[in-house]
Amino acid sequence: MRPAVLCAPLRIERAALRAAGLPVVRTGLGPRRAAATAAGLPEGPRVVAGIGGGLAAHVRPGDVVVADEVRGPDGVVEVPTAALLAGALRRLGLTVHLGPVLGVDHVVGERERDALAASGALAVDMESHRLAAAGQPFAVIRSIVDTVGAPLVRPSTVSHGLAGLRSLRAAVPALTAWAAATGPRQLLMASPRSFCAGVERAIDIVDRALAKHGAPVYVRRQIVHNTHVVRKLQERGAVFVDEVGEVPEGATLVFAAHGVTPGVRRDAADRGLSVIDATCPLVTKVHNEVRRYSGRGDTVFLIGHAEHEEVEGTVGEAPRSVVVVEDVAAARTVTAPAAQGFAYTMQTTLALDEAEEIASVLRSRFPGLSAPRKDDICYATTNRQQALRAIAREVDLVLVVGSANSSNSRRLVEVAEREGTPAVLVDGVSDIDLRRLAGAGRIGLTAGASAPPHLVDEVVAGLGGLGPVTVAENRLTEEEITFTLPREVL
């Protein structure tokens, strides 16, 4: 693939972009000159960068608009790399807006701006629609100078123009990284990935509770550990709280998938709350094990991370009998009070190999240590780790889609790294650091059990916008497990 080219309409814009170290072509002002320039450009990655006019009221001078589509008289050109570039620009400290850029054939006046704003476009220019390169790596950024209420010709023109040029110069590292990330690559998809049955059940419970009772429905903590899921449910009327005391008496409260302590259940009952329990059945299984072991007088070693909500809920079943063991070093030194016996359980979202190493140390130190009848680490966690392990050594980089507070997603990063492959956790396509993609010709892609599938699709589309992508699906096993819903939402 040819090197990327930066297209700047004006000489002053071209000067602002020279630090990128890429070819910068001055296209000239207006659609006619831009079309003539486009006809002479070779095929290959192309970025249109320059100043522009804002249409939306929230877009201010010095802000940067990244086009997710370019609209012109000849149609619409989608820009699949827009979220990738927008994320890179935000990490540079710029104020960035992602949305449509509208192409026109003349300088827009203040009266016309109001009419054009109704189109939903964020910015307007005269060149991008003529330079748009469908089917090739393509991007558009416009550093805003004139805006709603601040037209091009007025006393503030100079200061706003300087603000726009400063932002354009500040954007150079992101444009350089975008250009370096372009090129053909192979994408290996680990499967299974994304939502598991327990996560789907928990989200469905909140959806049904909202449909049945209306907003607001309160949820203690995040229903699952994913920012996108939480935001979507908030938009529908779910209210997320940290503790039961924040919920009005008599309201509807959903317990999150990670489970709660008996004390939390008592608090909810004392406030007269209508409780719907979305605890994952596999977490409930661990709670039952702790009650069974502690009930017969055993000390229970809980292999897991003490700060995780699931572990907090599990410890709460028998706080005087449970000892949390976080790693191998702790397993080698942990002590326990005298007891009739010893047993262990596991947090459901751990890395299987690491958890088994900890359990092995405990078994060697505590003869007769009782173990769960069936592994505590859930089927979905195990399947996703094994599916990733099957491809990790075949790729240059692994992308794991999931939120930073998702234990099972973080464990996937660790699994890849133990296989010797660099891995990064991304909440979505805009979190991908373009610099990590340079030279990564083969990329592995998976997602934690709490990450929505559409986020994976967006990553695939974003990578595809950087150049030709060959996608291969590596399906390790099929998941056909479903869990019943609580009667309160049926």
Please tell me which residue in 13, 289, 309, 310 is annotated as part of the active site. Answer: 310
Point out which residues pair with 96 in neighbouring strands: 64
What does the block give as tokens for 205? 């419970």
Whole-number Å distance between alpha carbons of 214 and 236:
9
Whole-number Å distance between alpha carbons of 56 and 281:
47
Whole-number Å distance between alpha carbons of 271 and 254:
14
Q: Which residue has the tokens 């459901």?
A: 348
What does the block give as tokens for 270? 């004392």
Q: At what angle do helices 172-181 and 157-170 cross, to 10 degrees?
A: 40
Whole-number Å distance between alpha carbons of 265 and 275:
9
Whole-number Å distance between alpha carbons of 413 and 386:
12
Point out which residues pair with 379 in neighbouring strands: none
Task: Look at strands 423-426 and 397-401 and give their pairing.
Answer: parallel
Whether 2 contacts 179, CB under 8 Å: no
356 has catalytic annotation: no
Query: Count of residues for the chain?
Result: 490
Count the Cβ atoms, other than its own, within 10 Å of residue 99. Answer: 18
Whole-number Å distance between alpha carbons of 49 and 78:
17
Cα four-point dihedral sign 17, 23, 29, 31: negative
Any idea what the Cα angle at residue 293 is, between residues 292 and 296, rounded to 5°? 90
Whether 117 contacts 28, CB under 8 Å: no
Q: Residues of 59-84 as b/e, b for ≥16 C-beta within 10 angstroms?
A: bbbbbbbbbbbbbbeeeebebbbbbb
CA 139 to chain centre: 21
**What single DSSP character describes residue 296?**
T
344 phi/psi in degrees, rounded to 5: -140, 150
Residues serving a catalytic function are 310
